[in-house]
Amino acid sequence: MASAGLGKIEVIPLSGVPEVREGEDLGKILLASVKQHGIRLVDRDIFVVKQKVVSKAEGQLVRLGAVHPGSKAKALAKSEGKDPRLVELILREATRIVRTGHGVIITETRHGFVCANSGVDQSNVGKGLVALLPLDPDRSAKKLRRELERGSGKRLAVVISDTFGRPWRVGQTDVAIGCSGILPLLPYAGKKDRFGYELRVTEPSVADEVAGAAELATGKLTGIPAAIVRGAEYVRGDKGVRSVIMPPERDLFR
Amino acid sequence: MASAGLGKIEVIPLSGVPEVREGEDLGKILLASVKQHGIRLVDRDIFVVKQKVVSKAEGQLVRLGAVHPGSKAKALAKSEGKDPRLVELILREATRIVRTGHGVIITETRHGFVCANSGVDQSNVGKGLVALLPLDPDRSAKKLRRELERGSGKRLAVVISDTFGRPWRVGQTDVAIGCSGILPLLPYAGKKDRFGYELRVTEPSVADEVAGAAELATGKLTGIPAAIVRGAEYVRGDKGVRSVIMPPERDLFR
């Protein structure tokens, strides 16, 4: 792994995928798009699938009009200038509030992700609806990987991506919130550089870099729900993104 | 920008580049590699160049044996289990210490980057040496872009990348520390999704995603100092990475 001779990487957007509804077979839909584009899959292709389409297939949409905000949500909505019903959902999806201010609510989700609004999002879902994150994105990734592998006969990987902000820099990048068939990190610890210096803590988060690379090819306004990343070095495995959540006792930014 | 019809993206590693020494013309060296690989550059190609090779060309290497640690560096080195000379350099490069613990020193650098060890790094430089970050990576990127454009006749962009950890997740991703010819963010604010919902705060950090995509093609042990990212949507401009540093008054994680 990660030895010399890395080659070219390609990121191939899957455009023209029809709107996905609850209960539909996402694997079948994506493979139909692959076929339609004349793409020949190869072993180790990584399907990067946006969280939004996974949430839709899993029925993780909520009608905002049906949400009754509690007093805590109302107070926070007022101080941050948000819709109280949206804040109610953000609080329900959160295990703790990490920071609030400047119209931003940063929480830790049930999955252990620290992100804005518990990942609750109103874009690309339709009027009056909001999308919640999948209940278990690693499990969603595993299910999808198996469907894709069964349908294609290839050994594949799946990364489910979402758009997260980050401290200290304006803007967002797409990161992995679930994965299967790919270990999120490439372990370099103990390897030596070409001068003989031993790397100790280097573990590139290939799952996050793959998610970001896919975002370059899909954008936010195109309705493109997925891309295939081909040629990236990674270790096959099934630990999931949950394995890279920083343990609280090592977390310097709690 | 960022409209429908995004196409395939390619990431092409520039392997076989000779070791770079202080004062050498990095643009000339990279263009020689491009030629050697038979790559035909096109307008809007993005050169992603690792910080280490830029630091080498700019003479930002320090011999550890020549560093005399002060008392503050000695104390911090003891508590975090590090070489006091290394810690002395980390402190010299920092404007403030953000967090320390578990063998980690997180600082804010003179550039405003929050990262481990002020970006001071011992890997891939040779025994007894450490590399400091370029003094002004945006300026370095601009100089390199001009050299590359002059030598090729194409309109190009340059991203200088480094490997940063992040809170809440184990592992690191490559991010942009300098750029030229590309605005670091794609401004979506005010654009509408296909359901008519207006995006308000969405600004994908394409410079960071491009840096991460390049890392997938270069790795850490190969001595590959650069990659070309082709086909990514971005806005041409010259604000630099400094324009995306979170202003202290909006920073929830100071």
Q: CA of B40 to nearest chain A CA: how many angstroms apart?
A: 14
- B1 in a domain, yes or no? no
Using only C-alpha atoms, chain A has a radius of gyration, in whole angstroms, of 19
Residue of chain B with shortest Cα separation from A251 = B168
- Domain annotation covers residue A254: no
Residues A161 and A198 placed together within one structural domain of the fold: yes
* Residue B32 CA: distances (Å) to CA of A107, B219, B237: 49, 21, 26
- How many other C-beta atoms lie within 10 A of the C-beta of residue A193? 19
- What single DSSP character describes residue B196? S
Question: Which residues on chain B are in Cβ contact (under 8 Å) with A104?
Answer: 252
Domain boundary among A129, A149, A175: A129
Higher model confidence: residue A189 or residue B118? B118
In a domain, A5, yes or no: no
Residues B112 and B69 in one domain: yes
Q: Do B127 and A193 touch (CB under 8 A)?
A: no
B150 burial type by CB count under 10 A (0-12 exposed, 13-18 middle, 19+ buried): exposed
How many C-beta atoms lie closer than 10 Å to residue A249's C-beta? 7
d(CA B160, CA A78): 42
User: Which tens digit of pLDDT belongs to each residue from A6-63?
Assistant: 689 999 999 989 989 999 999 999 999 999 999 999 999 999 999 999 999 999 999 9
* CB nearest to A206's CB, from B6, B167, B216: B216
Does residue A21 lie in a domain region?
Answer: yes
Task: Please tell me whether the overall predicted TM-score, pTM, comes out greater than 0.90 for this model.
Answer: yes
Claim to verify: residue B162 and residue B185 sit in the same structural domain? yes
Residues B174 and B194: their CA atoms lie apart, in Å, by 32
Q: Which two tokens stand for residue A78?
A: 């007022």
Are B8 and A8 within 8 A, CB to CB? Answer: no
Q: B203 and A124 in contact by Cβ < 8 A?
A: no
Residues A15 and A103 in one domain: no
Pick the residue from chain B with its C-alpha nearest to A191: B221
ipTM: 0.95
The pLDDT, as a whole number, for residue A84 is 97
Cα distance between residue B91 and residue B113, in whole Å: 14
> What local confidence, expressed as pLDDT, does residue A199 receive?
76
Last-in-domain residue among A76, A105, A129: A129
Chain B residue closest to A128 (CA)? B197
CB atoms within 10 A of CB B223: 19
Cβ of B195 and A220 within 8 Å? no
Which residues lie closer than 8 Å to B95 by C-beta, 6 or more apart?
A: B107, B108, B109, B110
Rounded to whole angstroms, the Cα distance separating A116 from A226 reads: 22
Measured between CA atoms, the residue of chain B closest to residue A211 is B209
Q: What is the average per-residue pLDDT within A77-82? A: 95
Same structural domain for residues B53 and B77?
no
Residue B108 identity (one-letter amino acid): E
Name the residue range of residue A77's domain: 62-129
Residue B5 lies in a domain: no
Distance in angstroms (rounded) separating the CA atoms of residues B122 and B241: 24
CA distance A248 to chain B (A): 8
B14 and B102 part of one domain: no
Region A126-140 average pLDDT: 96
pLDDT of residue A6: 60
SS3 B229: strand
Is the domain of B233 the same as that of B158? yes
Query: CA of B154, closest CA in chain A: separation in Å?
Result: 21
Which of chain B's residues have a Cβ under 8 Å away from the Cβ of A114? Answer: 167-168
B184 vs A contacts (CB less than 8 Å): 171
- How many domains are contained in chain A? 2
Domain stop point among B129, B149, B182: B129
CATH number at A112 reads 3.90.1660.10
Question: Which residues have a Cβ under 8 Å from the Cβ of B126 and sit 6 or more positions away?
Answer: A195
Provide, as residue numbers in chain A, all residues whose Cβ is less than 8 Å from the Cβ of B172.
202-205
Residues B73 and B190 in one domain: no
Query: Within a domain: residue A104?
Result: yes
Specify the pLDDT at position A1: 38
CATH number of the domain residue A52 falls in:
3.30.1330.100
| A53 in the same domain as A155 | yes
Does the residue A2 lie in any domain? no
A110 and A142: one domain? no
Q: Please tell me the predicted confidence (pLDDT) of residue A5.
A: 43
Per-residue model confidence as pLDDT tens for chain B (254 residues): 333 346 899 999 999 899 899 999 999 999 999 999 999 999 999 999 999 999 999 999 999 999 999 999 999 999 999 999 999 999 999 999 999 998 899 999 999 999 999 999 998 888 899 999 999 999 999 999 999 999 999 999 999 999 999 999 999 999 999 999 999 999 887 888 888 888 777 899 999 999 999 999 998 777 899 999 999 999 999 999 999 999 988 889 88
Domain-located, residue B3? no
- The per-residue pLDDT for A4 is 38
Using DSSP, state whether B148 is helix, strand or coil: helix
Could you tell me if A199 and A145 lie in one domain?
yes
Domain match, A140 and A241 both: yes
